[in-house]
Amino acid sequence: MAGKLVVQKKLPLWRRMALHSWGEVSDPQVYGSLEIDVTAANAYLAEVRAKTGARATVTHLVARAVAHAVADCPNANGIIRGRKILLRDTVDVFVLAARDDGEGLAGVKIETADQKQVADIARELDERVGRLRKHEDEADAKTQKSLGGIPHFLLGRVIRFLTWLTYDLGWNLTRLGVEYDPFGSAVVTSVGMLGLTQGYAPLNGLMPYPIVLVVGRIQDKPVALDGQVVIRPILYLGATFDHRLIDGFGAGRLARRVEEAMLNPAGIFGAP
């Protein structure tokens, strides 16, 4: 069941000024990055695969980590509509994957991702992406049917209108093939599978999500540990966030929560 959006009240002056400083993502994007030692994460994922049979990868763990972070920073779990901030009451993470046919991307929203184990996220993504790639996903088929035939020159206007109906008026258009709040609290995508070490992704002016995390390729790098230079597997995460909603303090808090989950997944999420 889709979560609800509630207007945030009693905004501090800085936040109110920020809402009037930009239009719709034009351009409050701020970028940041993390380099994380994934020694513990790799061991944890190996244990998840061995115990559950789920094909868990670092992308699944990052999705769970960002859900953990957003749950701890509820003021970051929102969208900008006009000069208002609407806060979500669930933490949902959208994960992008490439289609096998090369025809663009497939994506799956993991609802209440902060309440799921990494194995659960991996299985859900495997199942949904498999259906998407085979063109057997019912929700995707409805979306393709409702939006696929719209002329290119009208598509942007139609999506903006549907976004207005959904978020500003609160209409649920699921029956028409328009999923409610389709991207959720944050988007996670991987360029590591493409062989890229790092990357950044833009926010989408048509879709009101405030956070994008890009998962890079893991590389062995020399790092200082206890006064010694050692080789460790390092993961690069590139982040983009909406500065109207998330300031530097909030971004730092989110980053710390993501990092703690990646460095100690067993301690944060428990044994697989």
pLDDT of residue 135: 75
Mean pLDDT comparison of 1-15, 18-32, 107-121, 158-172, highest-scoring range: 107-121
CA distance 249 to 263: 21
C-alpha 170/C-alpha 65 separation (Å) is: 29
Q: Is the pLDDT of residue 84 over 70?
A: yes
- pTM beyond 0.85: the answer is yes
pLDDT in tens, 31-65: 999 999 999 999 999 999 999 999 999 999 999 99
Residue type, 249: F
Percent of the chain with pLDDT over 70: 92
Q: Is the pLDDT of residue 104 over 80?
A: no
Q: Alpha-carbon Rg of the chain, whole angstroms?
A: 19
Structure tokens of 261? 């989950």
Helices (H), ranges, the chain: 13-21, 39-52, 58-72, 118-133, 138-147, 152-163, 248-263, 265-269
Burial class (CB in 10 A: 0-12, 13-18, 19+), 186: buried
Q: Which of 7-11, 16-20, 115-119 has the lowest mean pLDDT?
A: 16-20
Q: Which residue has the higher pLDDT, 22 or 206?
A: 206
CA distance 57 to 42: 9
User: What was the pLDDT predicted at 220?
Assistant: 97
* CATH code of domain 5-28+41-185+248-265: 3.30.559
> In the predicted model, is pLDDT for residue 187 greater than 60?
yes
